[in-house]
Structure 1
Amino acid sequence: MNGQTTPESFGEQTIWQTFKYDMGSVGRSVGYAFTRPTKWKDKQWIDFAGIVAGTALLTLADDEIDHWSDGFRSAIPNNVLHFGGKTANPEGNYSLSGAVYFTGLFIKNEKLRRTGVLMLASSITGGVLQQVTVRVLGRSRPLTGDSANSFDPLLLKKVNNYDSFFSGHTVLSFGNAYAIAKQFKSPWIKAGIYTVGMIPGFTRIVISKHWFSDVALGTVMSILIVESIDKYLDSRYNQKYNNKKVNWDLSFAPGQIGLNVRF
């Protein structure tokens, strides 16, 4: 445990003491995630440059993908749209994170508590980063009728319909799904959870709330945030997730963008 003292390492603790420790873990995790770039080496900066370049390439196809979506918007079931637009909103995601954490707290399950801490810290980190980004860039949403390359940058206040990049629903919903999937070893269960986590991003494209690149970056950001925080939580909790990692490899080539997943 690298000398780290945890509630489990110094005897039976009250629920209040455990709760304070876990909320401290949430705060420390958020701080760790935001300061982590100061520790990046060459490989991490190269990966970051690749994500920036890949996202820039995706923006070139955003208008075409939005027009292509016109052909099937009306065919998407209303319950799917409701899940993506309402159930998976920030309030719903934070409620899910809280439910997972408090369940683990009251049944005294450290692994479940850690999952809740991971979800809460990742949601806070992703939410703050997304809110800052939308104000700095001020990208128009598809529903405005403007092109994907329309920006009104450096907005001190959030302006509705000019807060598209990147997708907050996606970074929260897929981040939670990714954190929950860490509980399981089966690639099929993981894939099923990932699929559910991707529904909100898909529906945001369908209802013209986001461009495809907004959702793609939100997905990538959620993975990076969860992985970074989960690595930090190894020093705070005795319980670890299964040792078999999921490797996500991004590849870019002229006219081609790839995402390879290895279980």
Structure 2
Amino acid sequence: MKAFRYLVLVLLTSSVAGQELQPKKEKNLWNNFTYDVGNMFGGVGYSYSRPFHWQGNDWANFGYLTGGTLLLFTVDGELNHWKNGFDQDIPDVIMDYGHEYGSPENNYMLTGGVYLAGLFTKNEKLRRTGVLLISSATAGGFLQQVSKRIIGRARPKSGAGSATFDPLHLDRVYDYDSFPSGHAMLAFSNAYAIAKQFKSPWVKGGLYTIGMIPGLVRVMDDFHWVSDVAFSTVLSIFIVESIDRYLDSKYDEKYNDQKPKNVSWNLSFGPNTLGVSLHF
């Protein structure tokens, strides 16, 4: 009996000692990298799963987005004709920036650079920003590529009207891949995610303005209708907010200790006036 008690005591002591001596997982470069990559994929999956968890306000916001897009759809032709009156007045440097910045290859060069800077400097906040940028671009990029093939909306430069569609193609049909706008989605996702680093409304506003340029340039060059760009810009906000909420549970570093706010819309009508404002 004494031998049995002694054996139990030895086993318990060894177990406790083993737990105390077990080293914690070292936060080295490779471990941080694999952890971040896992969160990138996790963020994309989380954003895609959100509609299954939406409640009243979420569906209301989606309804506002859908209704606003349909409303712009009815005046896309008029807006496209209106912008032809001054599209030649825009400086070439802005037009070039708009086309290049929103392209996928340049987008990933920027987002990858931000992430690698955070990884190698061991700055968790910057790492998280990079993860948010890459996850948002991946989620939005894949979604818009699939949507283009399903919807098949004609681009303005095709010469067809804004209500012309050639849907349901496995391969991309050029000139019938207008909706949504990939350039607008990628550019504004970046701007919105980076703006989370700052408290100043002036800095945020400046970043938002820069992020909207590629979408507007694509409208000016007849690659997209206004409703394409408007829908893509707002959708990018939803994607970034969703993934950022997921990353809150994965990283200790937060953005200015601010909780994401609910998105609200205001519509204003008047003589020859239509206004749509988004508060977030």
TM-score, scaled relative to structure 1 = 0.92
* 8 A contact 2:101–2:187 mirrored in 1: no
2-structure distance, mates of 1:198, 1:47: 21
Quote the residue 1:47 is aligned against: 61
* 8 A contact 1:248–1:259 mirrored in 2: no
C-alpha deviation, 1:248, in angstroms: 4.3
* 8 A contact 1:250–1:257 mirrored in 2: no
Quote the residue 1:101 is aligned against: 115
Say yes or no: does 1:251 pair with 2:261.
no
> Which region of structure 1 is more displaced relative to structure 2, 118-127 or 252-261?
252-261
> One-letter code of the match for 1:18?
N
Quote the residue 1:221 is aligned against: 235
> Which region of structure 1 is more displaced relative to structure 2, 100-109 or 48-57?
48-57
Aligned length: 253
Say yes or no: does 1:31 pair with 2:45.
yes
Q: After superposition, where does 1:1-263 map in structure 2 within 5 Å? A: 10=24, 12-244=26-258, 245=260, 248-252=263-267, 256-261=274-279
C-alpha deviation, 1:151, in angstroms: 0.5
1-structure distance, mates of 2:62, 2:56: 10
Q: What per-residue deviation string (whole Å, max 9, x for no partner) do you get for residues 75-113 of structure 1?
A: 111111100112331111111110000000000000000
2-structure distance, mates of 1:247, 1:77: 37
> Which region of structure 1 is more displaced relative to structure 2, 19-28 or 67-76?
67-76
Q: What per-residue deviation string (whole Å, max 9, x for no partner) do you get for residues 34-82 of structure 1?
A: 1111111122112212211110111111111110111111111111110
C-alpha deviation, 1:246, in angstroms: 6.0
> Which region of structure 1 is more displaced relative to structure 2, 149-158 or 18-27?
149-158
Quote the residue 2:19 is aligned against: none
> One-letter code of the match for 1:169?
H
> One-letter code of the match for 1:261?
H
**Aligned CA-pair RMSD:** 1.5
> Which region of structure 1 is more displaced relative to structure 2, 134-143 or 78-87?
78-87
C-alpha deviation, 1:257, in angstroms: 4.3
> One-letter code of the match for 1:26?
M
C-alpha deviation, 1:145, in angstroms: 1.2
- Which runs of no fewer than 5 residues in structure 1 stay unpaired? 1-9
Quote the residue 1:5 is aligned against: none
> One-letter code of the match for 1:259?
S
> One-letter code of the match for 1:258?
V
* 8 A contact 1:123–1:175 mirrored in 2: yes
* 8 A contact 2:111–2:133 mirrored in 1: yes
> One-letter code of the match for 1:186?
S
Identity percentage of aligned residues: 49
C-alpha deviation, 1:186, in angstroms: 0.6
Return structure 1 stretches of 4+ with deviation > 6 angstroms. Answer: none
SS of 2:216's equivalent?
helix
2-structure distance, mates of 1:252, 1:188: 24
2-structure distance, mates of 1:223, 1:241: 16
> Which region of structure 1 is more displaced relative to structure 2, 96-105 or 238-247?
238-247
2-structure distance, mates of 1:39, 1:115: 25
* 8 A contact 2:61–2:263 mirrored in 1: no
Quote the residue 2:8 is aligned against: none
* 8 A contact 1:135–1:158 mirrored in 2: yes
SS of 1:160's equivalent?
coil
Higher Cα radius of gyration: 2
1-structure distance, mates of 2:220, 2:66: 24
